A and B are shown apart, each in its own frame.
Chain A
Amino acid sequence: MGFHRLFQRQKFEAEMSEELRFHLDKYTQDLLDQGVPPAEAARRARLEFGGANTVQEECREASGWQTFDELRRQASYAIRLLRKSPGFTSTALATLAICLGANLAIFAVIDAALLRPLPFPEAHRLVTLYNTYPRAGVDRDGASLTNYYERRGQIPAFSSLSIYRPESMLIGEPGATERFESALVSPEFFATVGVAPLMGRTFTEAETTFQTDHVVLLTYAHWQRHYQADPQVVGRPIRVDGLAYKIVGVLPKTFTFLSSAAQLYFPYASVPSARGHLRRHSGNSITMVARLRPGATRAQAQSQIDAHNAVVEADNPQAKMMAEAGFRSVVASLHDDHVAGIRPILLLLQAGVGLLLLIGVVNLVNLLLVRASGRTKELAVRQALGASRRHVATEVLVETTLLTLAGGLLGCAVGAAGIRLLVALGADQLPLAAGMAFDGRVALVALAGAVLVGVALAFPIIWFTLRASLHAESRGGTASAAAQGLRHAFIVSQMTLAFVLLAGAGLLGQSLRNATAVAPGFRPEQVLTGQLSLPWAKYPGSSPQRLQIVERLGRRLVELPGVGAAGIVHNLPFSGKSNMTAVTAKGYRLRPGESVRGHYYYSVSGDYFGAIGLTLKSGRYFTARDGDQRLCVIDEDFAQRYWPSSDPVGQQLFSGSTESTPDQAFTVVGVVSRVKQVGLTDDTPQGAVYFPYRFFPQSDFYLVARARISPESLALAMQRAVRALDADLPVTDLRPMQTRIEDSLLTRRSPTLLAALFSAIALLLTAIGTYGVLSYAVTQRRREIAVRMALGAQPGQIRHQFLRVAFYLLLWGTTLGTIGAWLSGRLMQTLLYQVPSFHGLTLGGVALVMTAATLTACLVPSYRASRVSPSEALAE
C-alpha cells in the first residue's frame, strides 16, 4: 500500500464530494423550477438526501476503503505513540538498524558469492574437472592438456568441454611494454560457458598450434581502457611478447570467468607431444570446464569420466602407481567448487549476524513488553469502552511493523556502509565477491526481513496485551508473575546468545593468534618480491639466452644499493603458487600400500636462500663454483621421510616418479628449514626440493631481494635494473614478503574482526536489555520496596535483592551459554587453527566479560531501588 493508493484515496474523496454536490444542486434547481421558494428548496433537498456524512461513510465502505482507512488511522496513532517516547523509539531503531544492517552486509557477500548463479546461461549445467592424487599428498592438480584432447567429444554427458589457463602476457612496443593478466583457452571455451563475442569472432581449431595462434580476443574493459572503445579494433595488429598478433574480437561487457582478472584471451596452442599420453598427469594449472548435456547429471558424467579414465590408463605403464596414489578425476559444480573455500566462513558469519539479530529482536520484545505493561490500564479502559480484541491486536501489529520497517530503512543505510567496511576488510578479494553491491535485490531482502521481524515481534506483545488487560490490575501492585517470568526468560536467552557469539569470536581470535604466531620458516622482514615472465620468442625453452638473463638478473640485483642478497625462485611461498612434482629418492623402497609423494620443488638461481632467509640445517647451499653439477638442497621434512636415520647430505634423488639412469641423479648438498608454502596454517609435511635454475628453466619466476633499507623503497630501483637489462621486461606484483604473509591471513583476520564487532554489539544489547528490564522492575515495585523499607528493611538488603535476581539470570545465561558455545565450537572446528572446540580459557574469559557487563547494567537500577523514599512512594 504505497503513495499510489494514498493518492487514489484523495481523488476518491474529491470526486465523491463533487458528485453529491451535483445531486443536491440539481435537485434544488428542480424544486425551484417547480415553484418552491429558494430557502425552502435548499432545506428540502438536504432533508430528503439524508445526512451527508452518513452517506459519504456508506459510500466509502461500499467502495472498500474502510480497511485502508482503519490502517491509516492506526498507523498515525502508532506514530504518535512512538514519537511520545523518543528514548524507546531511538533505542529500538538503533538496535534494528545495526542488527539488520549487519545482516544485510553479510548477506550481500553471500548473495554475490554463493546465491547468485554464475553470469552464464544455464550456469547450473557448468562443471569443472580436476585430477586428485590424495595418497600422494596432492589433493588437486587441475587437468592436463592430454585430458582435454582425450576427453573432448568422448563423454556423452557433456555437450562441450574446454580448458582455461591463466597466463600473463607482455603487451606493447619495446620500452613501453606492460604485463597484463591473460588467459589461454581452447576454441570451444566461449561456447561452453555460453558467451558470444560482442564483435569479431572466437578462436578456431586451426589456431591451437604454434605459429597460427597469433590472435587475441580483448575483454570489454581492456577494449574500453586501451582502445578507447574503437569500433574498428577488430583486425588491428597488437604486439604480444614481442611478436605480431591480430585482434580478432571483443568480449561482451558482462563477461567475467569466475574471479579471473584476465584482460586478454589467447588460443591455447600446443605441440602434439604435449597432448600425448606421457603428459596425461601434468596438471599445469589448467581449469577444465564442461557443460552438461540437458538432462544429464553430474553423477552420470562422473561415472563416464571414471570409465574413460580406466580405458585410457590401460596403456599407461605407470597406471598402477597412479592408482596407488589414489588418482581420480572429480566432476564438480563449477560454481560450488569455486567458492568451496569460503563457504564455511561466510556461513559462519551469517550465523553470527543471525544470532545478533535474534538478540536485537529479543531486546525489542523486552522493551516492548515493558512498554505494554505501562499501558495495561489504558488498554483495559479502551477495551471496556468497546475496542475489540482484533482492533487491539492489529494496533500492536501496525506499531511493531512500522517500527521495524523504519528500522529496516535505516538498516539499509547501515548495510550500505557495512558493505564498504567489508570491502575495506578485503571482502572484494574473495571469489566472486567483487560483484557484491547494495542493489534492489539486497534491499528487497532487507525490507522483507524487516516486515517479518515486525510480525514476529507482534505476537508476544499481542499475547501479553490481551492477557494483561483481561485481568488488569486496577492499582499498581506487584507485576504479573507470568510477564515477569517471560521477561526473565528473554534476558536469559539473550545472555545465552551473546555468550555464544562472544565465545565464537574468542575462538576465532585464539585461532588467529595461533596462526599469526606460526613462523613461516624463513625471515620475511625486509624482503621485496616481484614477478617476472620471459617471453618465449626472445628466451625460448632452456636456451642459453634464458639462462644468461637469469644469471645476469641475479648479479644485477645484488649490486643495487641497499640490497644485501638477491635471488630468483619460480615457486615463491605465499604467492598463491604451490608447484609440486614427484621426486624419487634413490634406493628408497615404497612400503606396501605407500604411494609416491608429490613434493614442493623450487627452481632457484642467485642467492635465493640468503635472500629469503632460510636456515641451513646441515651441508651447504649452491655456489657459483658448482658449474653444471646436478645438485639439490632438500628441506627437513624431505630428509625425515626418506633418510630418517642416515645423513641426507650426499644422498641422491631423481625428478619423476621412478628412478632413472645414474647420470640423471641429483646429489643432496644441503638441508634447510621447512617453509610454509601455501599459508601459515598449512601443517602438512609435504617435503621440498630446491634445484638449480638451469635444470628447471621456468619462464615465470619471482625476484627476491633482501634489503638493508625498507623494502618498498627498493621497488623502483628493482624495476629500473630489470628494464636496463631488457627494456621489454616489466616487473609486476611487487610486494614485500611481509605483505604477502599478512594477505594470506585475510580469510582469518577479517572474519575475526567482524565476529569481535558483532559480539561487542551483542554484549551492549544484552546490557541494555538487562538494564531495561531491571529498572522497569524497580519502578513497578516501588510501592513494595517502600512498604518494606517503612517496615525496617535496610537499603543494602533491597540492593542485594535486585542483584541476586541479576546473578540468578547470569547463572542461567552462563550455563546455557557454555553449552551453546561448546556446540557451536564443534560446528566451527574445521575453521579453527589449533584451538579445541571447548577452550576453557576463552569460555572463562567470556563468562568474566558477561558478568562485568551484567553487573554494570544492574548497578544503577539496584542502587535506585535502595534509594526509594518510602514516604514519597506510598504517597503516590
Chain B
Amino acid sequence: MRKTTDLLPGTLDMLILKAVSLKPLHGYGVLLRLKQISAEALAIPQGSLYPALYRLEHQKLISAEWASSENNRRAKYYTLTAAGRKRLRERTAGWNRMSAAIAAALNTKPEEV
C-alpha cells in the first residue's frame, strides 16, 4: 500500500478551492480530483469534505448549481467565485512563502548558523 499523508489543519479548504478553480465539479468529483492531483499522496477524509464545501459556499467563496452529470443524474456542481479566486491566490502565496521558509529552515546546515 502506498504511503499517504494526513492533511494539515486548514489546508482542505485551499485544496478544494484549487480543485474547483480548474473546472466546475460535484462533491465526488472534487474528491477524485484531489486524489488525482496529489497523486493519491494525500488522505482526503470523505466525511469532512462536505462540511468544508458547505462552509465555503456559505462564505460565498464557491457557488453551487444543480446540473445533470455524466450518467444523466442530477448533481450539485461547484464553481469558484471571484471572492474565492482572490482567496485562493492569497492562500497559495501565503502557503508558498511559509513552505519556502520552513524548507529553508529545515535545510539549514551547521556551518550557516
Q: Tell whether, in the assembled complex, residue B46 and residue A63 are in contact, meaning their CB atoms are under 8 Å apart.
A: no
With an 8 A cutoff between CB atoms, is B110 at the interface?
A: no
Q: Tell whether, in the assembled complex, residue A62 and residue B75 are in contact, meaning their CB atoms are under 8 Å apart.
A: no
B55: nearest chain-A partner, CB-CB:
A62
Q: Which of B26, B47, B73, B76 contacts A55 (CB 8 A)?
A: B47
Q: Which of A15, A20, A58, A62 contacts B58 (CB 8 A)?
A: A62
Q: Which of B45, B58, B69, B75 contacts A63 (CB 8 A)?
A: B58
Q: Tell whether, in the assembled complex, residue A50 and residue B51 are in contact, meaning their CB atoms are under 8 Å apart.
A: no
Stretch at the interface among A21-29, A603-611, A769-777: A21-29
Q: How far is the CA of A54 from the CA of B50 in the complex (A)?
A: 11
Q: How far is the CA of A23 from the CA of B55 in the complex (A)?
A: 18
Q: Which residues of B contact A19 (CB under 8 A)?
A: 26-27, 50, 75-76
Q: Which of B58, B69, B74, B76 contacts A64 (CB 8 A)?
A: B58
With an 8 A cutoff between CB atoms, is B28 at the interface?
A: yes
Interface string of B1-42 (1 = CB under 8 A from A): 000000000000000000000000011100100000000000
Q: Which of A15, A23, A26, A62 contacts B51 (CB 8 A)?
A: A62
Q: Tell whether, in the assembled complex, residue B55 and residue A22 are in contact, meaning their CB atoms are under 8 Å apart.
A: no
Interface string of B52-91 (1 = CB under 8 A from A): 1011011000000010010001111000000000000000
Q: Tell whether, in the assembled complex, residue B47 and residue A61 are in contact, meaning their CB atoms are under 8 Å apart.
A: no
Tell me how far the C-beta of B20 lies from the nearest C-beta in chain A, rounded to whole angstroms: 15
Q: How far is the CA of A27 from the CA of B26 in the complex (A)?
A: 13
Q: Tell whether, in the assembled complex, residue A54 and residue B57 are in contact, meaning their CB atoms are under 8 Å apart.
A: no
Q: Which residues of A contact B57 (CB under 8 A)?
A: 63
Q: Which residues of B contact A63 (CB under 8 A)?
A: 54-55, 57-58
Q: Which residues of B contact A61 (CB under 8 A)?
A: 51
Q: Which residues of B contact A55 (CB under 8 A)?
A: 47, 50-51
Which A678-692 residues have C-beta < 8 A from chain B? none
Q: How far is the CA of A64 from the CA of B76 in the complex (A)?
A: 19
Q: How far is the CA of A58 from the CA of B46 in the complex (A)?
A: 13
Interface string of A263-285 (1 = CB under 8 A from B): 00000000000000000000000
B47: nearest chain-A partner, CB-CB:
A50
Q: Which residues of B contact A18 (CB under 8 A)?
A: 74, 76
With an 8 A cutoff between CB atoms, is A48 at the interface?
A: yes
Q: How far is the CA of A63 from the CA of B62 in the complex (A)?
A: 13
Tell me how far the C-beta of B84 lies from the nearest C-beta in chain A, rounded to whole angstroms: 15
With an 8 A cutoff between CB atoms, is A51 at the interface?
A: yes
Q: How far is the CA of A251 from the CA of B54 in the complex (A)?
A: 60
Q: How far is the CA of A62 from the CA of B50 in the complex (A)?
A: 9
Q: Which residues of A contact B31 (CB under 8 A)?
A: 23
User: Given known contacts A18-B74, A23-B27, is B54 in contact with A62 (CB within 8 Å)?
Assistant: yes
Q: Tell whether, in the assembled complex, residue A58 and residue B51 are in contact, meaning their CB atoms are under 8 Å apart.
A: yes
A52: nearest chain-B partner, CB-CB:
B47
Q: How far is the CA of A472 from the CA of B52 in the complex (A)?
A: 44
Q: How far is the CA of A64 from the CA of B46 in the complex (A)?
A: 21
Q: How far is the CA of A85 from the CA of B63 in the complex (A)?
A: 48
Chain B interface, >50% SS class:
helix
Q: Tell whether, in the assembled complex, residue B28 and residue A59 are in contact, meaning their CB atoms are under 8 Å apart.
A: no
Tell me how far the C-beta of A36 lies from the nearest C-beta in chain B, rounded to whole angstroms: 16
Chain A interface, >50% SS class:
helix
Q: Which residues of B contact A26 (CB under 8 A)?
A: 28
Q: Which residues of A contact B74 (CB under 8 A)?
A: 18, 22
Q: Tell whether, in the assembled complex, residue B58 and residue A48 are in contact, meaning their CB atoms are under 8 Å apart.
A: no
Q: Which residues of B contact A27 (CB under 8 A)?
A: 28, 46
Q: How far is the CA of A284 from the CA of B46 in the complex (A)?
A: 91
Q: Which residues of B contact A51 (CB under 8 A)?
A: 47
B58: nearest chain-A partner, CB-CB:
A63
Q: Which of A22, A50, A58, A64 contacts B75 (CB 8 A)?
A: A22
User: Given known contacts A22-B73, A23-B27, A26-B28, is B46 in contact with A49 (CB within 8 Å)?
Assistant: yes
User: Given known contacts A27-B28, A58-B51, is B45 in contact with A15 (CB within 8 Å)?
Assistant: no
Tell me how far the C-beta of B31 lies from the nearest C-beta in chain A, rounded to whole angstroms: 8
Q: How far is the CA of A327 from the CA of B80 in the complex (A)?
A: 79
Tell me how far the C-beta of B87 lies from the nearest C-beta in chain A, rounded to whole angstroms: 16
Q: Tell whether, in the assembled complex, residue A20 and residue B75 are in contact, meaning their CB atoms are under 8 Å apart.
A: no
A19: nearest chain-B partner, CB-CB:
B76
Tell me how far the C-beta of B72 lies from the nearest C-beta in chain A, rounded to whole angstroms: 12
Q: Which residues of A contact B69 (CB under 8 A)?
A: 22
Tell me how far the C-beta of B15 lies from the nearest C-beta in chain A, rounded to whole angstroms: 16
Q: Which of A22, A48, A58, A64 contacts B28 (CB 8 A)?
A: A22
Q: Which residues of B contact A23 (CB under 8 A)?
A: 27-28, 31, 46, 50
Tell me how far the C-beta of B7 lies from the nearest C-beta in chain A, rounded to whole angstroms: 15
Q: How far is the CA of A59 from the CA of B49 in the complex (A)?
A: 10
Q: Tell whether, in the assembled complex, residue B47 and residue A49 are in contact, meaning their CB atoms are under 8 Å apart.
A: yes
Q: Which residues of A contact B51 (CB under 8 A)?
A: 55, 58-59, 61-62
Q: Tell whether, in the assembled complex, residue B47 and residue A54 are in contact, meaning their CB atoms are under 8 Å apart.
A: yes
Q: Which residues of B contact A22 (CB under 8 A)?
A: 26-28, 69, 73-76
Q: How far is the CA of A22 from the CA of B53 in the complex (A)?
A: 15
Q: What are the 10 A-B residue pairs with the smallest beta carbon separation, nearest first?
A: A50-B47, A58-B51, A62-B55, A62-B54, A26-B28, A62-B51, A59-B54, A63-B54, A23-B28, A49-B46
Binding site for A on B (CB under 8 A): 26-28, 31, 45-48, 50-52, 54-55, 57-58, 66, 69, 73-76
Binding site for B on A (CB under 8 A): 15, 18-20, 22-23, 26-27, 48-51, 54-55, 58-59, 61-64
- Known contacts A19-B26, A50-B45, then 12 further A-B pairs from the complex at CB < 8 Å, ordered by chain A residue: A18-B76, A19-B76, A22-B27, A22-B75, A23-B46, A26-B28, A49-B47, A51-B47, A55-B50, A55-B51, A62-B51, A62-B52
Q: List 23 A-B contacts (CB under 8 A).
A: A15-B66, A19-B26, A19-B50, A22-B74, A23-B27, A23-B28, A23-B31, A26-B28, A27-B28, A27-B46, A48-B46, A50-B45, A50-B47, A51-B47, A54-B47, A58-B50, A59-B50, A59-B51, A59-B54, A62-B52, A62-B54, A63-B54, A63-B57
